[in-house]
């Protein structure tokens, strides 16, 4: 039977609904009504027919508490969304599993027309979902949909359950165009999430140079903000050996001698990881050779214990103290001998002779 035939047969059946006792909102095993299924499948004529016969546009299913509007919005059936809204469908009935509203569904999938339609019907763009506490704007930003983001920009500061804003997530994902839109809309650049991290921190962590530059061009940006572990945006650029990012952040007043909660400096991290170029950049920007971590270790001692011959050479040339002892009384030379690193032992001995 063709679709027209199905609609005709259904019309004939519904025309006698009251006479034969047909319930247009009769639910199946999952608690879904005929209207729910028709809305999801995009059967506009059937949806209209059911609504004309009094089908309940707000009826949620039993399993997920999802309404016909939820299904239509999720599947991108704009004409059906309009039909349902014209027949009393509610935009603010979140489904049970994630707490998503129809607007969340449409925004997450980038359905511009449906998003606009729902907003025009007073859908709440700032309401967070239940699972992640994320708004429709967050989902649109996550999925790189600039047009939908523009529609939703009224709520730039809503935070999810991790304390993160749409700008924080867009920055971490490297969504340059979305970041620019959010900044132009006045998004707060210094919003700190539950880990103590700002959008700049997140972008630097992932190595998104273009996004970092966008953020650094904003007035009042703090390049030295420390997270819960004492790490700054510069810390992660160093740890990940991103020399260009290190130079960029240092040029914007990044502090080379900042310490994390373990008392470790950027130079210590770079020395331990054998990052020759980053070590050089840090030294050129005032990194202190003799600062110590909580175990009393200097950058030189860390370079020695991790067998970083190139970095050992760099630090010795800059005058690093070869006699500096850790809290346990160990010198760089002691560890070089323990690990039988002949080249490093020779480097340290030659330095001792010159210094002596």
Q: What is the DSSP annotation of 326-345?
A: -TTS--HHHHHHHTT-HHHH
Q: Is 273 helix (H, G, I), strand (E, B) or coil?
A: helix
User: Angle 78-86/68-75 helices, nearest 10 degrees?
Assistant: 160
User: Using CA atoms, how far apart are residues 117 and 249, in angstroms rounded to an integer?
Assistant: 43
What CATH number has the domain bearing residue 15? 1.25.40.20
Q: Cα 272 to the chain's mean position, in Å?
A: 29
Q: Tell me, what's the pLDDT at 1?
A: 42
Q: 254 lies in a domain?
A: no
Q: Pick the last residue of a domain from 90, 124, 158.
A: 124
Polymer length in residues for the chain:
356
User: Using CA atoms, how far apart are residues 313 and 271, in angstroms rounded to an integer?
Assistant: 11
Q: 284 lies in a domain?
A: yes
Q: Which of 26, 25, 30 is nearest to 57 (CA)?
A: 25
Q: Which two tokens stand for residue 58?
A: 């707000």
Looking up tokens 């089908």 gives: 55
Structural domain including 282 reads 260-356
Q: 303 lies in a domain?
A: yes
Q: Which two tokens stand for residue 38?
A: 């028709």
Give the contacts of 324 (CB within 8 A, at least 6 positions apart).
Answer: 290, 292, 298, 300, 301, 331, 332
99-114 core/surface letters (b: 16 or more CB in 10 A; e: else): bbbbbbbbbbbbbbeb
Which CA distances in Å does 290 have to 121, 162, 313?
64, 37, 15
Q: How many structural domains are present in the chain? A: 2
Q: Hey, CA dihedral for 262, 267, 271, 274, is it positive or negative?
A: positive
Q: Pick the last residue of a domain from 69, 100, 124.
A: 124
Q: Tell me, what's the pLDDT at 10?
A: 62
- DSSP code of residue 205: H
User: Using CA atoms, how far apart are residues 219 and 95, in angstroms rounded to an integer?
Assistant: 41
From the number of C-beta atoms within 10 Å of its C-beta (0-12, 13-18, 19+), residue 211 rates as buried
Q: 39 lies in a domain?
A: yes
Q: 194 lies in a domain?
A: no
User: Using CA atoms, how far apart are residues 299 and 293, in angstroms rounded to an integer?
Assistant: 9
Give the contacts of 184 (CB within 8 A, at least 6 positions apart).
Answer: none
User: Using CA atoms, how far apart are residues 270 and 76, in angstroms rounded to an integer?
Assistant: 50
Which CA distances in Å does 233 have to 165, 167, 270, 312?
17, 16, 14, 26
Q: Tell me, what's the pLDDT at 118?
A: 86
- DSSP code of residue 292: -
User: Using CA atoms, how far apart are residues 75 and 148, in angstroms rounded to an integer?
Assistant: 16
Q: Tell me, what's the pLDDT at 19?
A: 56
User: Using CA atoms, how far apart are residues 6 and 301, in angstroms rounded to an integer?
Assistant: 81
Q: Pick the last residue of a domain from 124, 150, 179.
A: 124
User: Using CA atoms, how far apart are residues 32 and 70, in angstroms rounded to an integer?
Assistant: 12
Q: 176 lies in a domain?
A: no
User: Using CA atoms, how far apart are residues 278 and 303, in angstroms rounded to an integer?
Assistant: 13
Q: Tell me, what's the pLDDT at 16?
A: 58
pTM (two decimals): 0.69
Q: 213 lies in a domain?
A: no
Check if the beta carbon of residue 320 is closer than 8 Å to that of residue 298.
yes
Q: 290 lies in a domain?
A: yes
Query: Which segments in the chain show pLDDT lower than 50?
Result: 1-2, 4-5
């Amino acid at each position: 039977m063709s679709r027209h035939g199905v609609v005709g047969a259904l019309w004939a059946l519904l025309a006698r609904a009251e006479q034969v006792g047909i319930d247009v909102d009769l639910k199946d095993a999952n608690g879904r009504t005929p209207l729910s299924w028709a809305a999801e499948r995009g059967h506009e004529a059937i949806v209209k027919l059911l609504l004309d016969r009094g089908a309940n546009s707000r009826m949620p299913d039993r399993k997920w508490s999802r309404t016909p509007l939820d299904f239509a919005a999720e599947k991108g059936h704009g004409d059906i969304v309009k039909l349902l809204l014209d027949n009393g469908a509610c935009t603010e009935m979140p489904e049970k599993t994630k707490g998503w509203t129809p607007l969340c569904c449409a925004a997450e999938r980038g359905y511009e027309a449906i998003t606009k339609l729902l907003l025009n019907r007073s859908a709440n763009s700032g309401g967070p979902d239940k699972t992640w506490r994320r708004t429709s704007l967050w989902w649109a930003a996550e999925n790189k949909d600039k047009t939908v983001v523009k529609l939703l920009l009224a709520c730039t500061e809503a935070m999810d359950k991790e304390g993160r804003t749409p700008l924080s997530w867009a920055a971490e994902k490297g969504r340059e165009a979305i970041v620019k839109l959010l900044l132009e809309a006045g998004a707060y650049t210094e919003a700190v999430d539950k880990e103590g991290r700002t959008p700049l921190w997140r972008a630097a962590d992932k190595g998104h140079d273009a996004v970092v530059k966008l953020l650094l061009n904003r007035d009042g940006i703090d390049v030295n903000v420390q997270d819960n572990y004492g790490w700054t945006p510069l810390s992660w650029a160093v740890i990940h050996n991103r020399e260009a990012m290190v130079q960029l952040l240092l040029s914007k007043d990044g502090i080379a001698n900042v310490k994390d909660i373990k008392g470790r400096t950027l130079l210590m991290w770079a020395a331990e990881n054998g990052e020759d170029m980053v070590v050089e950049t840090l030294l050129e920007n005032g990194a202190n050779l003799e600062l110590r971590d909580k175990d009393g270790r200097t950058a030189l001692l860390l370079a020695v214990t991790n067998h970083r011959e190139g970095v050992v050479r760099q630090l010795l040339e800059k005058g690093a103290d070869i006699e500096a002892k850790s809290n346990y009384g160990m010198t760089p030379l002691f560890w070089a001998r323990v690990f039988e690193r002949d080249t490093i032992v020779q480097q340290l001995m030659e330095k001792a002779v010159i210094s002596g």
